[in-house]
Amino acid sequence: MSGLALCSETELYNILNQATKISRLAEPNYLCLLDARSKREYNEGHIITARRAKKDENDECFLLPESLELDCVKYCVVYDGHTDSLDGEGPAIECAKLMAEVCRHPVMVLAGGYENFSARYHFFRSQKVFWMPQEIDDFKPHPIEIMPSLLYLGDIRQASDRYILKDLKIKSQVNVSPEPVNVSLENVHVLHIPVTDTADSDLLQSFPSVCAFIDAHMGPNCAVLVFSKLGISSSSAVVIAYLMHCKKCSLKEAWAHVLKCKANMRPNRGFVEQLLEWEKTILGQAATDISDPKF
């Protein structure tokens, strides 16, 4: 039995938006998202790609979902209307306990349930029940959320998508790529750091101005998007540098946070060495061993 864990709204949002060349939702063993509410509630609206957790013919006990090898699924997330704790009872807890008997990884219960998640991420509400494989392949992920409702990490496509900018209330952008990008909305502030994703590119000298820009433009209903061509290397380095500045934390701590949010983030080696120099500026000394293979 794998046990249960609580899943925050941001964590589920980021799980839904992980991507390589296409959305990871297209992977059959990536995510099992179950709605443990009633059929009526599910039909009125549910989280995108969620399937309804079904019960037996007496409508008493939950059943395991069919056509899924649950012991191979990376993420299994269950939600009901508003469960916010693992202590107690409710449809999500009941369903999750059943799932935990066969899942290899901990089964996650969404904190706050559908009500909180759909209020915050209204654009991920859906009434669609069946998803064709091509529709999943064509799903366009949103930027990864680094600081809830404040700071996002993404790619060039996302930076120029007017619907994404409106959904996330992005009013400012940091473009960490060689070329400028046309912004599809007016009144979006842009800081362009024209660097290439190579080990000899100098990002270190831009860290102070980037941090000052984010500090000045981030606030309630004013989120900032940091992006590069793929959203993997240079933009990830900038986000890590900002977290070190904002939280006065080590490179190791900031790295772990961003990696948890975006599984395929990977600053190149030159940027890692510059982040170590930035750590010395922030903390007064080096605190991270970048010879560790994780870096």
The amino acid sitting at 208 is P
Query: For residues 201 and 234, is the Cβ–Cβ distance under 8 A?
Result: yes
CATH assignment of 4-137?
3.40.250.10
pLDDT value of residue 228: 96
Give me the pLDDT at residue 1, please.
54
> CA 166: distance to chain centroid?
17
- Give 114-170 pLDDT, tens digit per residue: 999 999 999 999 999 888 888 888 899 999 999 999 999 999 999 999 999 999 999
Nearest of 30, 27, 37 to residue 105 by alpha carbon: 30
- Which pLDDT does position 131 carry in this prediction? 86
Is residue 68 scored above 80 in pLDDT?
A: no
Give the phi and the psi of residue 133 in degrees, each rounded to 5: -55, -40
The structure's pTM equals 0.95
Architecture of the 144-283 domain:
Alpha-Beta Complex (3.90)
Structure token digits, residue 202: 């100098």
Cα Rg of the chain, angstroms: 20
Backbone angles phi and psi of 62, in degrees to 5: -70, 150
The residue with greater pLDDT, 149 or 88, is 149
pLDDT in tens, 24-55: 999 989 999 999 999 999 999 999 999 999 99
Domains 4-137 and 144-283 share a fold: no
Cα–Cα distance, 154 to 252 (Å, whole number): 21
272 vs 22, higher pLDDT? 272
Domain ranges of the chain: 4-137, 144-283
Amino acid sitting at position 184 = S
Mean pLDDT, to the nearest integer, of 58-66? Answer: 88
Nearest to 206 by CA among 184, 223, 228, 186: 228
Structure-block tokens of residue 28: 């059959």
Q: What's the rounded Cα separation, in Å, for the pair 113 and 12?
A: 11
Q: Does the structure show a pLDDT above 80 at 184?
A: no
CA 180 – CA 166 distance, rounded (Å): 20
Compute the distance between CA of residue 101 and CA of residue 70 in angstroms, rounded to an integer: 10
First to last CA, the chain: 33
pLDDT computed for residue 149 by the predictor: 96
Mean pLDDT of 211-233: 96
Query: With contact defined as beta carbons under 8 Å apart, do 203 and 274 qualify?
Result: yes
Query: With helix as H, strand as E and coil as C, how does the chain read?
Result: CCCEEEECHHHHHHHHCCECCCEHHHCCCCEEEEECCCHHHHHHCEECCCEECCECCCCCCECCCCCCCHHHCCEEEEECCCCCCCCCCCHHHHHHHHHHCCCCCCEEEECCHHHHHHHHCHHHEECCCCCCHHHHHCCCCCCEEEECCCEEEEEHHHHCCHHHHHHCCEEEEEECCCCCCCCCCCCCEEEECCCCCCCCCCCHHHHHHHHHHHHHHCECCEEEEEEECCCCCHHHHHHHHHHHHHHCCCHHHHHHHHHHHCCCCCCCHHHHHHHHHHHHHHHCCCCCCCCCCCC
The confidence score (pLDDT) of residue 194 equals 96
Asked whether the beta carbons of 52 and 46 are under 8 A apart, the reply is yes
